[in-house]
Amino acid sequence: MPRTVGVSLKMYFGHAAALSWFDRVAELAREHRAVASGEVELFVIPSFPAIPGAIAAFEGTRVLVGAQDLFWEDSGAYTGEVSGAELAEIGVRVAEVGHAERRRLFFETDAVVAAKTAAALRNGIAPVLCIGEVAEVTPAVAAAEVISQLDAAVQDAPAGRIIVAYEPVWAIGAAEPAGPDHISPVCRALREHLDAIGRGGTVIYGGSAGPGLLTRLGDSVDGLFLGRFAHDPAALAAVLDEAAAS
């Protein structure tokens, strides 16, 4: 299984800045041996208006383009929403679901997350399912909490690939990520649980993730989900090098 590195741009870039970043990262993807060969999987999740530009920029590379959200229905009178069916039609391959910011700012419940997970999978899109405990607790308590979140999201979902992004809420936007002694046991528990329920899938860590972390985590995770540290393509290249080396 290849290592997986994902980047969500959130709402940090304007349109022109996003297009420029795509061009630089596309060049990196073409030149990076592990990405070009498929040894390391890279996905990029821009804002909705920038998705077509990202798809164009990454044409001819192995980079997957994603969306930061999707609606739980495939069509209808839902002003302001974007369906998984339309996203799949234009070439979106992954979609964030259940990020802590959407739970906090837009009051998304476990039921909403489950409906969006199902919508992604039925349209052939791999959900990047974001789960994480709110308060800093022991790894055992954290594992129990995130496994409960995972089960709620996938219990009625169609078959298909799931990318689980473990993001402790208390580590998002922090100066430092959670420590390896916390991340590793939680991610191992998630992977074991996915296997136990017959889902398989990929388990990556997010939450102030950046260069140097993947080396410290070893094989306890399948990759990283990056935010602000990937705004500099050189930092992203460093993480891709780590992924290839590990």
- For residue 22, give the 3-state DSSP assignment: helix
**Structure tokens that stand for 61 in this block:** 């590379």
Q: CA-to-CA distance for 210 and 177, rounded, in angstroms?
A: 8
Which one from 108, 167, 182, 242 is the annotated catalytic residue? Answer: 167
Which one from 41, 96, 99, 145 is the annotated catalytic residue? Answer: 99
Nearest residue to 162 (alpha-carbon basis) of 110, 118, 131, 201? 201
* Owner of token pair 């420590």: 179
* Owner of token pair 């992203």: 236
Q: Identify whether the C-beta of residue 57 lies closer than 8 Å to the C-beta of residue 23.
A: yes
**φ, ψ of residue 6 in degrees (nearest 5):** -120, 155
Q: Identify whether the C-beta of residue 9 lies closer than 8 Å to the C-beta of residue 214.
A: no
Amino acid at 243: A
Q: Identify whether the C-beta of residue 52 lies closer than 8 Å to the C-beta of residue 22.
A: no
Q: CA-to-CA distance for 241 and 219, rounded, in angstroms?
A: 15
Q: How many CB atoms are closer than 10 A to CB 68? A: 21
CA–CA distances in Å: residue 31 to residues 26, 27, 128: 9, 6, 26
Is 99 catalytic? The answer is yes
Is 167 catalytic? The answer is yes
Supply the residues annotated as catalytic.
99, 167
